[in-house]
Amino acid sequence: MLRSWHLGKLFGIDVYIHWTFLLLILFVMMGQIDGGIPAAVLSAALIIATFGCVLLHEVGHALMARRFGIPTLDITLYPIGGVARLTRLGEKPMEEFWIAVAGPAVNVAIAALLGVFMVLSGKPFAPNPSLQSLLHPGDDVIRALQCANILLVLFNMLPAFPMDGGRVLRSLLSTELGRLRATEIAAKLGTVFALIFGIGGIFYWHNAILALIGGFAYLAGQQELAMVRQIEYNRRAPPLDVLPAGSEIIDVMPVAIDANFSGVTWDTRTRTWTVWKNGQPVQSRAHDAF
C-alpha cells in the first residue's frame, strides 16, 4: 500500500510527501479543465508552489526547535498541510511560543519578498487575500502566491489548538496556569474551531479540505492533551511498583474500568488521577495536590 514518498533532505531533515497529494493536484486540475489545459496546469503549478511555501513553513518550525536542542524526526506534506514531527515538546512555555511563531514568520517573509518583487516589477501589492485568487490565479501567479502566503499566516494563527495560533495561546497560558491546565483550555477552544471548520466546510463553504482539517485538528488536539496528561502524571507522581511497563492514562468518564485493567485514569470533572491494578484502585490524588 502506498504511503509517503521520500523527497530528500532539507537542512538535514527528511522530507516526505503523502501519496494523497496527487489526488489534490488531480482535483485542482479537473476543476480548471473548462478553462483549457494551460489554465489547469497553471493552477496545479500554483498549488505545488504553495506547498513549497508550506514546506518552508515547517522548516521554520524545525530550525527554531533545533535552536532549543529539539531535533525533528521528519516533515511530511499532506493535502491538508504539512507536519513537522519533533522528538519532544519544548520544556519552557517560551520555547513553544517561538517554535510556533517561526512557521508563520517564514510565510510573512515570503509574502514580503514577493511584494518587493511586484513593486520592482511595477505591480501593486496583492489585494485582500481570498481563496478565489488561489484557485483562479489567471496570469498573475506571483500575486496569487503572495495571497496564498498571507492566507497561510492568517489561518495558522487562529487560536485553534494544535495549530500554530493554538500553540501560541497555550504557551502564554502555561506561564500562569501550567502546561496541563493550559492545554485543556487550548484543546477546548480548538474543539470549537474544529466544529466550525467541519460544519462550515461541509454545509456553508462546501470545502471538503477545510472539513478534513477540522477533523484532523480535533483528533490531534485530543491526542496531545492525553499525552500532556500522561507526561504531567509521570513527572509529578511518586514512583509506584504496581503498574506494568507501558501503562497509559485514559479518561475515566465515560470509560468503564475493566476487571483486569491496570493503569491510570484521569477524571476531568474532579481533576484527579487514579492508579488501578487488576481493576482495583490503589491510589487517587488530585492534580493540584502534587
DSSP 71-124: -EEEEEEETTEEEEEESS--SSHHHHHHHHHHHHHHHHHHHHHHHHHHHHTT-P
Active site residue 232: no
Query: Cβ distance 129 to 137 under 8 Å?
Result: no
HSE, CB side, 13 Å, CA atoms: give it for residue 189.
18
Distance of alpha carbon 184 from alpha carbon 225, whole angstroms: 7
Given the residues 58, 95, 96, 184, select the one marked as catalytic: 58
Distance of alpha carbon 194 from alpha carbon 238, whole angstroms: 36
**275: three-class secondary structure by DSSP:** strand
Distance of alpha carbon 170 from alpha carbon 163, whole angstroms: 11
Take residue 75 and report the three cell numbers written for it.
516533515
The dihedrals phi and psi of 18, each to the nearest 5 degrees, come to -75, 145
Side chain identity at residue 16, one-letter code: Y
Distance in angstroms between the alpha carbons of the first and the last residue of the chain: 47
Cell numbers 463553504: residue: 205
Q: How distant, in Å, are the alpha carbons of 229, 240, 252, 254, 256 from that of 286?
A: 13, 16, 14, 19, 20
Distance of alpha carbon 193 from alpha carbon 1, whole angstroms: 33
Give the residue numbers marked as catalytic. Answer: 58
